[in-house]
Each structure stands twice: as structure tokens, then as C-alpha cells.
Chain A
Amino acid sequence: MTTTTASATTAPATSKGAGTPVLTARGLVKTFGRVVGLDGVDLDLYAGEVLAIIGDNGAGKSTLIKCLTGAEIPDAGTIELDGKEVHFRRPEDAKEQGIEAVYQNLAVSPALDVASNLFLGRELRKPGVLGTLFRQLDIKKMRARTREELNRLGITTLQDVTVPIESLSGGQRQAVAVARAAAFGSKVVVLDEPTAALGVRESNQVLDLVRRLRDQGTPVILISHNMPQVFEVADRIHIQRLGRCAAIVTPDSHSRTDAVAIMTGAAEA
């Protein structure tokens, strides 16, 4: 969490879209057999901003953020983090650099409990030989840290961190996935349609969380179909269309109808 405060002080997000970007992508191409998912996409993400990505189904939004977070390997194009080129081959490569994502399919393990899910893939081990030689998990500490993180993020819907995920409601599962990303995403947090399955109250909690992350200096990429939400929370909006970036707009420069028109191809950017 120290990196968060550091970047907040060194790069005050006064003018959005200025300064050097945290994350840059140039010319990303990703094909699946004959289907073109991404057809040369550029993206810049600046410190302390919420960048929304909107677009029709199949426009390549999920593929784009999967390439940025190591879940897919792009066929061509470059990705830079803090000006240094990175080659993510697995999600854990991106996680090591502080990039966390909540994917559209959620990616939680239903039979494992809340704390196990939060720490899945980066479990805490007990101190001393118990941890190093016998590889013993520090289950108490993971549960305590999970409670702490949930409190810190203001997630109140999860009282018991020892229950399996599958016994939770859709909104609670979403909260676990978002909490995991927020807890470990020290550089960048990416959320792919995090409010799609949620009610109004739960959606607002997620949006509050997005704002809080931004205010702490962590830039957020938010994919959403919900135009009111996007225009409420985003600093800039990347409009994805047919595997390309059709335009980048801001809530000030364009109206919702303008954005939808560009998204559907009814208007040029």
C-alpha cells in the first residue's frame, strides 16, 4: 500500500491526461483463429484517473484488458508500465507488478472460503520453519487481513470470511473479487463489468470504491455498459469498436448520446 501513497504524492492528478502515463499500450493485436479480437489498439492510463472502456458486445473490451493483465498474450504490440516495456505471459506476472483485475467471469473459486479466495495464488505462510520447510499456511493471519481489507474498502456485506464463496449472493461474490483486486492492485486496478450482476445499492458501493481508489492515486480501468455510471465516475472514456479504439472522449466533451453514437458507428468521432 506504500506505493499507492507514493504515486499519489509524486503525481498529483490535477490535469487529467497530462504527465507520463502509468500504463501504455501501442498497436495491440489479438486474433483467435480467424476472429480478430483486437486490431491494433492504443491505450494510455494516467495516474489518478478512472478510464472507462465502453463498446458493443464483441468490440474487444475484455480482450484488451486481458492483454494488459497477462490473461492473454497479444500477437503484436507493446505494453509499457512506468515507461518500461513489459511482457506479461501469465496473470501472476502482471500481479507481481501491482496490476490487478476483476475479469468478467469473476474468477473466484466457489468451494473455497472468502479469505482463501482473497489470497488465492499468494497465500501467506507461517513464520519460521513451519512456513518455509513445512509450507504451512497462516490461516489466522489471512482471515484477519481479509477482514481488515474489507473494512478498509468499506465492504460491509461480508461478515464471515470463513464461508465458501458459493454460499454468497452474486453481489457478495462480486465484492470479494473487487476486494481482491483493490487490496493487491498497488499500480493499476482493472474491473471488467463489475456492476453487471448487481443491484443499485451494491453498484453504488463498487463505484464508491472506484472513486476511493482513484483518490488514493491508483488509476482504474472500468469496463461498463451502464452509461449513467460511466459518465458519473470516469475521467476519460475509451470507445472500443470492432477491435479498434474509435475515440477517446470525456464526460465534458461529449454527451451520452454522442458516445453511444460513436460506439454503434452511427457517428464519426
Chain B
Amino acid sequence: MTTSTETVSAAEHIFETAQTPVQRLRSILHRYPALSPAIVLLVSIIVFGMLNERFLLPGNLSLITQQVAIVGTVALAQTLIILTAGIDLSVGTAMVLASMVMAVMATENGVSAPVALLIGLTVGLMTGLINGMLVTKLRLPPFIVTLGTYSIFLALTLLYSKGSTVRGTDMPALMTWTGKSFPVAGVNVSYGVVIMFLLYVIMAWVLTTTAWGRHVYAVGDDPEAARLAGVRTTWVLRSVYISAGAIIAIAAWLQMGRSSAASPNAGADLNLDSITAVVIGGTSLFGGRGTVWGTLLGALIVGVFRNGLSLAGLDVLYQTLAVGILVIVAVSLDQWIRKAR
């Protein structure tokens, strides 16, 4: 995207403002928010690879990507919302609601698979619309709105599905197609992973090259400034929640493929795990700063840590401990970086 002249001027700018090496480092990290998670991921892959030779085996790498695909997709939706200085605690339950609707439609209601997926997509869009309308109409903090809709979507899921799981073997093949894989250079890549990656490419492109993308950042940066500059902040916020809903519905499809089932009890961890990925990926919880690639790196870091630690024979509780430490370190780093001027 950047031409050589732009890179040169960016470098000049950094040299102007930063005197000491530490300040210079901070300015660079400030300008490229995905840089620190990229370094962390690289270092952790090298370290875990040295600790256990099984870590770098194609089968294990394939497993990590598949484990990351669902949380990675949900975290993409979460990134959009956090970029507007919001937060969405309902992404997990919204995803489960969409997946249960898709599964029940395709089995008990006998709807064809593509139509069932479209109905699930509509459900995802609706969950986003509800969150977006509550945030913009009632002007409630997104934290409170989505805390409420978290429970509402959960209750709707249980009411609708009567608490029972739909098995993948009972569904049409398309419903679980995302779990199938094909080999690339010896590594099995699932269609779900490809879909997740495509969503990242599209969203990165939209955020960096369209006016809507600029407006998402502007609204998260300073909503009043954006409004006074002529940005339709209400519309931007609503469209962000609706887009997030669409991405969550796609995550629901990936989830059915990955676990070959649609269960009303899946996805409870996704609310916090998605926020974790976003934060580790360098996106600021204060809004207006961050990239979707950072989030993908953040999701991969969590996946690599969990996988690497379990290969090292450590208990799950140590994985959770490690992720907790990562989050605190990432937020502290963000605070420090934000002091750069």
C-alpha cells in the first residue's frame, strides 16, 4: 500500500521526533501497532519449536490454525467494535444462537443447507442490529448493552434449541464443510481457516482503503470531532455492529465444521477469548488505534501458547495463567506506546 516516498517521509518523521533509542522504538511501535505482536509470535514459535520438536510438525501447525479459526473470526468482529471504542460481550452467545438456528433449520425444519446458512446469517445480522440500535438510540455504553444481550441471546438459544445438541452427521454436508481440509505443502489446511483468512483480507482492505474505514477509526478516536467534521457517527456505529454480526454468523458456520455439531453450550469462552486476541494484537481498548492483522497475530499467539505449553506437558491451568499474563503485558505496552508523541 505504501509507496517508497511515503516510507521515506515516515522514517524522516520518526527521526525528527525521537531522540533516544527507547523513544525511537516507542514511536515505531506507535506507528505500526501490529509490530509488537508479530515479534512476540515469532519468538514464541522459535522457543516452543526448540522446546519440543513435535511443535513444528505439519500436523501440529495445522491443528493450531484450526483451533484459532473460530476465535480468530470472532475476534475480527470484536476488532471492529473495539476500534470504535466499544466492546462486545455478546459475540459468543450471538454465534451460538446463529449456529443453532442454522443447524435446527437444516435438520428438523428440513430447509436446504444454503437457505439455512442464509437464515443463520440473518440472525447474525439481527444480533448486530440490536446491539447497534441499543448503543446508538439509547446511548448506553456498549459494555452494558452487550452484557444484557449476552444473556438474552443465551436464553433465546436455549429456548429455541430446547437445550439439545444437533449432531453434524445429521446435517447436510454443506453445514460442516468448513471442517474439511486440503493439503498445502504437506500441511492440512481446513476450508474454515481459508474463510477466516479471506475475511481478514477483505476487512483489512475495507478498513484501509475506503471512507467507511477512515470513519470507523475517526469515530473511535474522538466521536465528537468526527461528528463535527461531518461523519455520520450514528450510521458508522450501527454499520460496525451489523458487520460484526455478519462475521459472527460466518464464525457459527466455521464452528459447526470444526466440532461437527451445533451445541447450545459451545462458545461461552469466545466472548473473553476474542477480546484477549484483540488486546494482545495491539488494538487499543480506547478505540481508534489498531489493525485487524494485529488481531490475527493475537489469536495465533494465544493458540501457539496453549498448544506449545500443552506439548511441553503443562496443565491447562498454566496455559490460562500464561494468557492472563500476556493480556496484562499487552495492555501495559499499549499504555506505554500511547505516550509516544
Name A's B-contacting residues (CB within 8 A): 71, 90-92, 95, 101, 103, 105-112, 116-117, 120-123, 125, 135-137, 139, 160, 162-164, 166-167, 180
**Sample of 8 further A-B pairs with CB below 8 A, known A101-B228, A107-B222, A112-B214:** A110-B288, A111-B289, A120-B215, A121-B229, A121-B230, A123-B211, A167-B341, A180-B229
Interchain CB contact (< 8 A) of A160 among B12, B31, B215: B12
Instruction: Decide: A106 and B225 in contact? CB cutoff 8 A.
Output: yes
A110 to B231, CA, bound (A): 15
Question: What's the least CB distance linking A111 to chain B, in Å?
Answer: 5
Question: Which chain B positions have C-beta within 8 A of A160?
Answer: 9, 12-13
Instruction: Decide: A135 and B341 in contact? CB cutoff 8 A.
Output: no
Q: B6 interface residue, CB < 8 Å from A?
A: yes
Interchain CB contact (< 8 A) of B226 among A109, A137, A139, A167: A109
A164 to B17, CA, bound (A): 13
Give residues 246-300 of B contacting A (CB, 8 Å).
Answer: 288-289
Overall SS of chain A's interface: loop
Question: What's the least CB distance linking A79 to chain B, in Å?
Answer: 18
Instruction: Decide: B226 and A120 in contact? CB cutoff 8 A.
Output: yes
Q: Chain B, 5-32, contact with A by CB distance < 8 Å: what is the 0/1 string?
A: 0100110110001000000000000010
Instruction: Decide: A136 and B218 in contact? CB cutoff 8 A.
Output: no
Question: Which chain A positions have C-beta within 8 A of B217?
Answer: 109, 111-112
Question: Quick one: closest B residue to A66, CB to CB?
Answer: B228
A211 to B214, CA, bound (A): 33
Q: B315 interface residue, CB < 8 Å from A?
A: no
Q: B224 interface residue, CB < 8 Å from A?
A: yes
Question: Quick one: closest B residue to A168, CB to CB?
Answer: B341
Question: Which chain B positions have C-beta within 8 A of A139?
Answer: 209
A-B pairs with the 7 shortest C-beta distances?
A121-B230, A107-B228, A123-B211, A92-B230, A107-B225, A109-B218, A120-B229
Q: B180 interface residue, CB < 8 Å from A?
A: no
